[in-house]
């Protein structure tokens, strides 16, 4: 949290307001241009091997009532962020949403939190400053790490050195909002295992999987927060640990893997910073459903839709994914991670994961 970054971030924001000012003065319709945030406008950055926005842009312009409202809100938000940086305060996305209620102008207030979240993302992209540098935090995601890792975290109460097995409780080490404040001291870990559901994470910890296999168990808690993805990337990059992702076998879970590995469509402007292209998918794969004869649920219409959507998503256009998704559409079934319990509580740690990890060449 250097004052330098703060000053730069603030200057960038004010620049943006100045742009609107100049547009007014020139008799132009105030507007800002953003990359189109849809799956048809993401492309693979060959160098970094992550998915980033393509060339297509859309314009937020005061041409329409809707557009004008958006820009008005943007200006109000810019003012708020600039003030916040000046006073070295921070706030959460949710706080921003409620804070807008206190603005003198009703037209500038947000209708829902999606709107304010999206606006912050817009400002990130246009000003090329991450929201962490705006001092905007997400709500605690509660994502955790459990495993043989020793680190130092800068907190408001000073530096803390923490071992992610010995110094933490059953819940594990809580990932902070800005993981860049963490320094990794040492690690005995062999690999990283990102787990989608809390139930499975607890099962692995209870069964001592982290100890037995040298696994850093990262709990994703559904769609992973930026901090979770960032720390995963740093662990991979700095400790050179292979990253594996373990989720349910349904289309929504594949997207979780996608955002860990390739970056999400919403934050493709930060892919380079958040995505770990080397991440590998453990499962549960559709082929596992067949192979292990797991208990299943039928695919719903929206599942099928999502799967078909993924077939056209550039991030999933690999032989592996096409084969798996088509197989799943074919069998018309999905399965949860917990379905493995049908073979006994230890099946996942004794059989399934070791087999899969071996197949994937992790050990």
Partner 1 sequence: MTSLQSTLGEEGIAEELADNQRAISIAEFFEKNKHMLGFDSGARGLVTAVKEAVDNALDAAEEASILPDIYVEIQETDDYYRLIVEDNGPGLTKESLPKVFGKLLYGSRFHAREQSRGQQGIGISAAVLYAQLTSGKPAKITSRTQGANEAEYFELIIDTDENEPEISVEETTTWDRPHGTRIELEMEANMRARNQLHNYMKHTAVVNPHARLELVEPDAHFKFERATDQLPEETEEIRPHPHGVELGTVIKMLNATDSHSVSGFLQEEFTRVGKKTAESIIDEFRDRHYGRAMRWKPPGAHEPGDIQATVEAATVNKGAEATTAFATEIADAVSSRDRIAHHELAGIVENVGEAVGDEYGTTFGSTVRENAIEAAWETICGHEEVTDQGTDDGDGQQALDEIGEEPDVSRLVTDLYGISDAATSTRKDDEVVHAFSVRLAGTFEDLEDTRHRLTHRELRKAIDRAANLTEEYDDVAFGDTARENVTEAVWNVMATVPDDPPLVRELTGDRDASSDLVEGMRATNIMAPPTRCLSPITDELVEAGLRKEFDADFYAAATRDAGVSGGDPFIVEAGIAYGGDLAAEGRVDVLRFANRVPLVYQRGACATTDVVKGIGWRNYGLDQPGGSGLPNGPAVIMVHVASTNVPFTSESKDAVANVPEIEDEIELAIREAARELKRYLNKRRSMQKRRQKQNVLGKILPEMAEKVAEVTGREQPDIDDAVARIMNNVLVERHREDDDSSVKLVVENHSGTAESLEITDIVSAEPANLSDGASAIEMDGEWFISWDVDVPGGEEATLEYDVPDDATFDLDVKGVDEEKLTITA
Which one, 17 or 360, has the nearer CB to partner 1? 17
| The dihedral formed by the CA atoms of 297, 301, 302 and 307, expressed in degrees to the nearest 10 | 80
Nearest to 213 by CA among 235, 244, 190: 190
Nearest to 248 by CA among 173, 306, 313: 306
- Cβ of residue 121: shortest distance to partner 1, in angstroms? 20
- Cβ of residue 14: shortest distance to partner 1, in angstroms? 6
Which one, 108 or 341, has the nearer CB to partner 1? 108
Phi, psi values for residue 333, rounded to 5°: -135, 160
| C-alpha–C-alpha distance, residues 251 and 345, integer Å | 25
| C-alpha–C-alpha distance, residues 156 and 172, integer Å | 20
Which one, 76 or 281, has the nearer CB to partner 1? 76
Binding of partner 1 at residue 24 (CB under 8 A)? yes
Element (H or E) spanning 34, and its range?
strand 31-35
| Range 212-251, binding partner 1 (CB under 8 A) | none
Binding of partner 1 at residue 101 (CB under 8 A)? no
Which one, 71 or 192, has the nearer CB to partner 1? 71
Q: Compute the C-alpha angle 67/93/110, nearest 5°.
A: 35
Residue 98 is among the residues annotated as catalytic for this protein: yes
Q: How many CB atoms lie under 10 A from the CB of residue 76?
A: 20
Binding of partner 1 at residue 11 (CB under 8 A)? no
| C-alpha–C-alpha distance, residues 120 and 125, integer Å | 9
Question: Any known ligand binding at 196?
Answer: yes
Q: From the candidates 21, 97, 98, 173, which is the catalytic residue? A: 98
| C-alpha–C-alpha distance, residues 165 and 52, integer Å | 36
Which one, 9 or 268, has the nearer CB to partner 1? 9
| C-alpha–C-alpha distance, residues 215 and 231, integer Å | 15
Asked whether the beta carbons of 235 and 228 are under 8 A apart, the reply is: no
- Cβ of residue 349: shortest distance to partner 1, in angstroms? 56
| Range 28-87, binding partner 1 (CB under 8 A) | 28-30, 62-65, 68-69, 71-72, 75-76, 78-79, 82
Binding of partner 1 at residue 18 (CB under 8 A)? yes
Binding of partner 1 at residue 27 (CB under 8 A)? yes
- Cβ of residue 100: shortest distance to partner 1, in angstroms? 13
* Site string (119-158) toward partner 1, x via CB under 8 A: ----------------------------------------
Total residues at the site for partner 1 (CB under 8 A)? Answer: 29
Phi, psi values for residue 76, rounded to 5°: -60, -40
DSSP strand pairing (173-174 vs 144-146):
antiparallel
Binding residues: 196, 248
- Known binding site for Mg(2+): residues? 196, 248
| Active-site residue list | 98
Site for partner 1, rule CB under 8 A: 14, 17-18, 20-21, 23-30, 62-65, 68-69, 71-72, 75-76, 78-79, 82, 105, 107-108
């Amino acid at each position: 949290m250097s004052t330098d970054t703060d000053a730069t971030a603030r200057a960038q924001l004010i620049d943006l307001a100045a742009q609107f000012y100049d547009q007014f003065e020139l008799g132009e319709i105030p507007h800002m241009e953003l990359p189109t945030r849809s799956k048809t406008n993401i492309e693979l950055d060959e160098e970094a091997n992550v998915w980033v926005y393509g060339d297509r842009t859309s314009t937020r312009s005061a041409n329409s009532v809707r557009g004008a409202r958006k820009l008005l809100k943007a200006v109000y938000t810019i003012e708020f962020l600039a003030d916040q940086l000046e006073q070295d305060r921070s706030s959460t996305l949710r706080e921003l949403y409620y804070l807008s209620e206190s603005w003198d102008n009703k037209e500038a207030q947000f209708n829902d939190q999606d709107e304010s979240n999206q606006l912050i993302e817009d400002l990130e992209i246009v000003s090329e400053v991450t929201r962490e540098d705006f001092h905007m935090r997400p709500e605690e995601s509660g994502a955790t790490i459990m495993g043989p890792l020793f680190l130092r975290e800068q907190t408001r109460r000073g530096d803390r050195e923490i071992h992610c097995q010995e110094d933490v409780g059953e819940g594990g080490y809580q990932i902070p909002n800005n993981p860049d404040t963490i320094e990794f001291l040492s690690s005995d870990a062999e690999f990283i295992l990102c787990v989608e559901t809390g139930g499975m994470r607890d099962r692995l910890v209870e069964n001592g999987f982290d100890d037995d296999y040298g696994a850093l168990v990262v709990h994703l808690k559904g769609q992973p927060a930026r901090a979770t993805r960032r720390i995963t990337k740093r662990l991979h990059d700095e400790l050179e640990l292979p990253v594996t992702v373990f989720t349910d076998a349904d289309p929504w879970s594949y997207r979780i893997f996608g955002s860990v590995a390739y970056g999400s469509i919403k934050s493709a402007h930060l892919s380079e910073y958040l995505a770990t292209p080397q991440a590998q998918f453990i499962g549960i794969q559709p082929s596992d459903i067949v192979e292990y004869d797991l208990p299943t649920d039928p695919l719903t219409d929206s599942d099928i839709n999502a799967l078909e959507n993924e077939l056209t998503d550039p991030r999933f256009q690999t032989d592996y994914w096409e084969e798996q998704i088509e197989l799943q559409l074919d069998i018309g079934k999905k399965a949860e991670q917990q379905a493995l319990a049908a073979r006994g509580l230890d099946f996942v740690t004794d059989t399934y994961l070791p087999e899969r990890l071996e197949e994937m060449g992790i050990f």
